[in-house]
A and B are shown apart, each in its own frame.
Chain A
Amino acid sequence: MDTDQLIKTLAADNGHRPRRVSFVLALALLAAAPVSILMFMAELGVRPDVMTAMHNPFFDLKFAVTLALAAAAITISLHLSRPEASLGGFVWLLAVPAGLLVAGISGEMMMPQRLPMMTRLVGSNSRVCMTAVPLLSLPLLAASLIGLRHGAPTRPALAGALAGLLSAGLAATLYAAHCPDDSPLFVATWYSIATALVTAIGALLGSKVLRF
């Protein structure tokens, strides 16, 4: 097939309308979410005192942080699915979840505390957090990578890292409903370590599967 023939063939296929990357990503995430939710319900479940916990602003802050992280990562990864896109100012979206955490930590510092700082930081179940968040994020990570494969990221490792951040943010949102530790210090430490792990896995996988 010479190039003229190829061009003719491509033009003949112009009727085919590919879906937008955002649509495919949303579809993939919607398909994977029940898997993560089932894993969560089967192994962890919502913490028993959730009704009272909801009145604690630091419990609610966890969801604000993790959802802000997921939303920022979704926006940036969709931006990066365009080949000519550079990270640019988009990276500052990640300052939103980080800023929320910092605000939370400062807020907590100013309040009278029953527990010493180290106790709040170490928490009571950091090991569960470190295991659960990466495991819950795996189905979501796979979905994110499938969705982003539909795009054309010219920096596949970076796009993969954002898929990792995105899935860790969503997985941490689930996990936060189980986690008995509400201190922003705990979140900043252990959630971040778990998220960093998933981000690294995403970057590694992305560098392989997101090439086009």
Chain B
Amino acid sequence: MREREDEWTGLMRLAISGDSAAYHRLLKAITPVLRAAARRGLARAGQSVDQSEDIVQDILLAVHLKRHTWDANAPFAPWLFAIARNKLIDALRRRGKRIFVNIDDFAETLADQPAPETASPTEVAAQLQGLPARQRDVLQSIAVESASIKDTAAKFAMSEGAVRVALHRGLASLTAKLREP
């Protein structure tokens, strides 16, 4: 436990100093822990655990966009868990409310329309479609097609700087959209 958290702190320090591979490794390493926490939280709140991936992605986006609030001299885990806890509470509150508000609407349709068995695309994937075209194209190119920033720039005849800006703005607007009720 202790060792794992020290490793996270080390990776995050590397990430802050510009090491994107270390950052990737860190995000990969924390995801299963976040997923388990999200599932536990949902189960405890009596909600379906298949929404856990939405919460995990929400936490990862917040970790990314708020990483400048981490103090590089402090351990990383308490910071991470504070963000995760905040997002989980927020998600449970929002979902609880939504279900409460819509219970009458659902009552009729639920009877004859069984919920789809397959996992639905995550909220992030759904909101991606609502982004401005340029941000969406850049995000899709990097996320789905695994293109590098350089390749993405060549594909859309953009400068690498413009791709970086669109990428960051796209992630920020995705986060903002997830927060809308």
Q: What is A's interface to B at a CB cutoff of 8 Å?
A: 1-3, 5-21, 81-84, 151-152, 154, 211-212
Q: Which residues of A contact B125 (CB under 8 A)?
A: 1-2
B79 & A84 in contact (Cβ 8 Å cutoff): yes
Chain B minimum-CB-distance residue to A21 = B69
User: In the bound complex, do residue B23 and residue A11 qualify as a contact, i.e. CB atoms below 8 Å apart?
Assistant: yes
Closest residue of B by beta carbon distance from A20? B68
> Chain B: residues with CB nearer than 8 A to chain A?
15, 18-21, 23-24, 27-28, 31, 53, 56-57, 60-62, 64-71, 74, 78-79, 81-83, 85-86, 90, 122, 124-125, 128, 139, 142-144, 146, 148-149, 164, 167-168, 171, 179
- Given the known A-B contacts A7-B28, A8-B24, A82-B71, are A1 and B171 also in contact in the complex, defined by CB atoms under 8 Å? no
| Residues of B close to A20: CB separation below 8 A | 68
Instruction: Give Cα A152–Cα B175 distance, bound, in whole angstroms.
Output: 14
Enumerate the 3 nearest inter-chain pairs by beta-carbon distance, A residue then B residue, closest first.
A11-B24, A83-B82, A84-B82
Task: Report whether A83 and B171 are in contact in the complex, using a CB–CB cutoff of 8 Å.
Answer: no
Contact yes or no, A1 B82, CB < 8 A = no
| Residue pair A13, B144 in contact (C-beta under 8 Å) | no
Contact B31 A16 (CB under 8 A): no
A residues near B81, Cβ cutoff 8 Å: 84
In angstroms, Cα B148 to Cα A49, docked, is 67
| C-alpha spacing A169/B57, complex, angstroms | 40
- Chain B residues positioned under 8 Å from A154 (CB to CB): 82-83, 85-86
Complex Cα–Cα for A19 and B78 (A): 22
Q: Could you jot down 27 A-B contacts, CB within 8 Å?
A: A1-B122, A3-B31, A3-B53, A3-B122, A7-B27, A7-B31, A8-B24, A8-B143, A8-B146, A9-B139, A9-B142, A10-B23, A10-B171, A13-B164, A16-B168, A18-B68, A21-B69, A81-B69, A82-B70, A82-B71, A82-B79, A83-B66, A83-B69, A84-B79, A154-B83, A154-B86, A212-B66
A8 touches B69 (CB 8 A): no
Q: Which residues of A contact B66 (CB under 8 A)?
A: 83, 151-152, 212
Known A3-B53, A6-B143: A14·B20 in contact at CB below 8 Å:
yes
**B125–chain A nearest beta-carbon distance, Å:** 5
Complex Cα spacing A154 to B86, Å? 6
A17 to B72 CA separation, bound complex (whole angstroms): 14
Closest chain A CB from B38 CB (angstroms): 11
- Given A14-B18, A83-B86, 20 more A-B residue pairs with CB atoms under 8 Å apart are A1-B124, A1-B128, A1-B139, A1-B143, A3-B57, A3-B122, A5-B143, A5-B146, A6-B124, A7-B27, A7-B28, A9-B167, A9-B171, A11-B23, A12-B167, A14-B15, A18-B68, A81-B69, A82-B71, A83-B83
Is there contact, CB below 8 Å, between B142 and A8?
Answer: yes
Shortest B115–chain A CB gap in Å is 20
- Residues of chain A with a CB closer than 8 A to B69's CB: 21, 81-83, 151-152
Q: For residue B148, which residues in chain A have a CB less than 8 angstroms away from its CB?
A: 12
A2, A10, A16, A18: which contacts B27 (Cβ < 8 A)? A10
Expressed in whole angstroms, the minimum distance between the Cβ of B178 and any Cβ of chain A is: 11
Q: Is the CB of A6 within 8 A of B57?
A: yes
